[in-house]
Chain A
Amino acid sequence: MLQCLGCILVVFATTSFGVSFVMKEKFRLQDLKEVETGILLLQNQVRYIGAPLGEVMEGIGLKLNGMVGEIFARIGSDLESRKGESGSVIWERIWMEEGRYTYLTGIDLDEIISFGKTISFLERTGQENGLDLLLISIRTIENDLQSKMSKNQKLYGSLGVLSGLLLVVTLL
């Protein structure tokens, strides 16, 4: 009876491990979509309204969900506090500090941080071009991720179950 319970626990644990890999990719996709929404909102603000960047970032932070929203809000509040740091330094610092609490990988964060160099340095057209470039990179990553996700979902699920069974047979 106890052996049976142990076997079930081992298989459940390894299956959950496999499923957690799939969920990690799902949450990464969600975070990327939030960043894409934030960048689109920023693009509209830069293109049509031209409000101060700090105010814009805080507004975007309120509209977005999760950690990405908090990052945008923090960037906005740091810009508003006017401590002498430039926009690009604030953008880079906060994404490097808080980015590790999101599901975004190093590649995603590199793309987002490199956009920061266009903030507060270039004129409006340059910033719009920078935003367009970032949107293209994010959408490319999202498309790649979505096509890999459906394949990986089945793979990690079955790998989890099979490795659990293998462990059970080996240890019994």
Chain B
Amino acid sequence: MEINIVFQIAAVGILVAVLNQVLIRAGREEQAMMTTLAGLVVVLYWVVEYINTLFETVQTLFQL
């Protein structure tokens, strides 16, 4: 696992937080929520592969 993924997730988190605040201040709460959900989906998409690898490793390790 590369360290870059951590920085990418952090950058997406910061940008989504700022976008969220900007949209809420402009009175567009629905768009703010959609942006947050989109950011969450993008990060989950990156992370799901590593979670899958983690479960496989645990299965192999404990011979489940």
* A residues near B11, Cβ cutoff 8 Å: 165, 169
Q: How far is the CA of A163 from the CA of B22 in the complex (A)?
A: 12
- The contact size tier of chain B is 10 to 19
B19 touches A155 (CB 8 A): no
Compute how far the CA of A169 lies from the CA of B39 in the bound complex, rounded to whole angstroms: 11
- Measured between beta carbons, the chain B residues less than 8 angstroms from A166 are 12, 15-16, 19, 39
Q: Are A159 and B8 in contact (CB under 8 A)?
A: no
CA distance A166 to B19 in the complex (A): 10
Interface residues on A, range: 10 to 19
A169–B42 alpha-carbon span in the complex (Å): 11
Beta-carbon contact of A159 and B42 below 8 Å = no
List of 9 A-B pairs having minimum Cβ-Cβ separation, nearest first: A169-B11, A155-B26, A166-B15, A162-B19, A158-B22, A165-B15, A169-B12, A170-B42, A169-B8
A162 touches B42 (CB 8 A): no
